Amino acid sequence: MLKSTDNELKYEKAVEFYEKGDYYRALQLFDGLIPVFRGTNKAEKLYFYYAYCYYNEHDNVMASYYFGRFAQSFPNSASVEEAIFMAAYCKYLDSPRYSLDQTITKEAINELQIFINRYPYSERAKQATLLLDELRYKLQLKDYNIANMYYKMEDFQAAIVSYENMLKAYPDTDFKEEILYRIIKSYYNYAMKSIPEKKKERYESAVKAYFDFISLYPESKYFKEVQTMRDKVVKELKNFEQQQIQ
């Protein structure tokens, strides 16, 4: 069939292979038929099946690309909603574990959000929202682990910046209690290791962080520990005041 010059027959056979689930053979035939049937009444079905062949062969990069091409080429198609969703979904499937580069994850988030904005009442919008939440959690997990890495390395300044940026980016994060607790500890340890001229300012930041934490989590498992740190910090600040009076 690949060597045949009868394109109509090749098209029929490709569709037959596709509908039987033989996506590998269908894909080989569709490859040669795409340019032949461009602009004809068979092109829409051919492009749509072509994208699904890649999807069913687990080539998510190519599938996403061709679903996107389909949506651009056939904007009035009854299948355009499905194609836009599938283009985003294939990127979701290609999103790596949180410890790796998250460029694809961010692209998937962007495309899923575009889909939801375009089809807010679609049944697929519910699924897209769940996928979006999962991907956003993955980004949170990556940022959280980077901040924790700085914390464990005792680079407390970098840890504070990373934790505070997380709270700005994800104000409702599930890690909020742990983050606020570690911000207090980071400011406390950062101040302890600082030169005398910087200690007062950083102790004051630790106290502020303490009040932010305790106002949200008055019954936290970390209550006694942060209270102890606060008492030590207040004592240090009183020493500074006495030194200034003298």
Lowest-pLDDT choice from 77-86, 96-105, 194-203: 194-203
152, burial (CB in 10 Å: exposed 0-12, middle 13-18, buried 19+):
exposed
Mean pLDDT computed over 8-22: 93
Helix or strand or coil: residue 171? Answer: coil
Q: Is residue 24 part of a domain?
A: no
Treating both helix axes as pointing N-terminal to C-terminal, what angle do 103-118 and 123-152 enclose, rounded to 10 degrees? 150
Mean pLDDT computed over 179-199: 87
The CATH number for 161's domain is 1.25.40.10
Banded pLDDT at 36 (limits 50, 70, 90):
confident
Helix or strand or coil: residue 213? Answer: helix
pLDDT at 246 over 60: no
pLDDT at 244 over 70: no
Q: Is residue 132 part of a domain?
A: no
What is the structure's pLDDT at 196? Answer: 73
First to last CA, the chain: 97
Kindly report, residue by residue over 131-143, the tens digit of the pLDDT.
999 999 999 999 9
Kindly report, residue by residue over 150-184, the tens digit of the pLDDT.
999 999 999 999 999 999 999 999 999 999 999 99
Q: Is residue 182 part of a domain?
A: yes
Cα–Cα distance measured from residue 139 to residue 147, given in angstroms and rounded to the nearest whole number = 12
**Cα dihedral: 238, 240, 242, 245 (round 10):** -140
Cα–Cα distance measured from residue 164 to residue 184, given in angstroms and rounded to the nearest whole number = 11
pLDDT at 76 over 90: yes
Q: How many CB atoms lie within 10 A of CB 8?
A: 12
CA distances from 128 to 85, 122, 123 (A): 8, 10, 9
What is the structure's pLDDT at 243? Answer: 60
pLDDT at 38 over 90: no
The number of domains in the chain is 1
Mean pLDDT computed over 48-60: 97
pLDDT at 197 over 80: no
Specify the higher pLDDT residue, 236 or 93: 93
Q: Is residue 221 part of a domain?
A: yes
Q: Is residue 227 part of a domain?
A: yes
Q: How many CB atoms lie within 10 A of CB 66?
A: 27
What does the mean pLDDT of the chain come to?
91
Q: Is residue 138 part of a domain?
A: no
pLDDT at 85 over 60: yes
What is the structure's pLDDT at 203? Answer: 84
Mean pLDDT computed over 88-99: 96
Percentage of the residues of the chain whose pLDDT score is greater than 90: 76
Cα–Cα distance measured from residue 73 to residue 83, given in angstroms and rounded to the nearest whole number = 11
Q: Is residue 204 part of a domain?
A: yes
Query: What's the whole-model pTM score?
Result: 0.83
Range of 180's domain?
153-246
What is the structure's pLDDT at 84? Answer: 97
